[in-house]
Amino acid sequence: MDKNIDFLLCVKDVKDNDTVLKMKNFIQHCDTSCYEHCYKVAFISYLICRRLHLDYKAAARAGFLHDLFLYDWHIKSEEHKPLHGFRHPYIALRNASKLYNLSKKEQDIIKKHMWPLTVIPPRYLESYIVSFVDKYCAIAESIDYYKENKRFQKLYRYAYLFFGLIIFKLV
């Protein structure tokens, strides 16, 4: 079976859930939505776990739900106090548990995806994989964003010089 189709079958009930779709309304890293970030983490974790003959279904599902906190963590408020990195795995687990009957492995993946911030280490290899993939995706999303902004900065600089020369010649 095609890996993309198999992945979509693993996360079908997750990716189209109304609560999970609300993650599209919140930015996770730079300009990447929480939903898009979780989709990437789930897919890459799925591929790695499948290749290693691990529980790729649990990795895909929990990877999709690992940041189900539904608030803008960039805005500090009384409700969402600082230390988001330490607290949000537990919030995501609580929210995901309201929607799904999660296995112990899926619970561990969600709760420990911020390891080593979540001091107690993951119990399963799939939990480590999702944790590392989460960090990889966060770094990649940030680099992509800053590379794109750098490109626009160069474009604006060249446009400024170009129009400056035109204006200078006209004067």
What's the pLDDT tens digit per position in 156-166? Answer: 555 555 655 65
pTM for the complete prediction?
0.77
My answer on whether omega of the bond before 116 falls inside 30° of 0, hence cis, is yes
Angle, helices 84-99 vs 104-111, to 10°: value is 150
**Contact in structure between 32 and 104 (CB atoms under 8 Å):** no
What's the pLDDT tens digit per position in 18-67? Answer: 887 887 776 665 567 778 988 999 999 999 999 999 999 999 999 999 88
- The partner residues of 27 in beta bridges, in order of sequence, read 33
SS3 state of residue 96: helix
For the chain, the maximum distance between any two Cα atoms, rounded to a whole number of angstroms, is: 73
- Higher-pLDDT residue of 130 and 142 is 130
What's the pLDDT tens digit per position in 71-108? Answer: 554 466 555 556 555 577 888 899 899 999 999 999 99
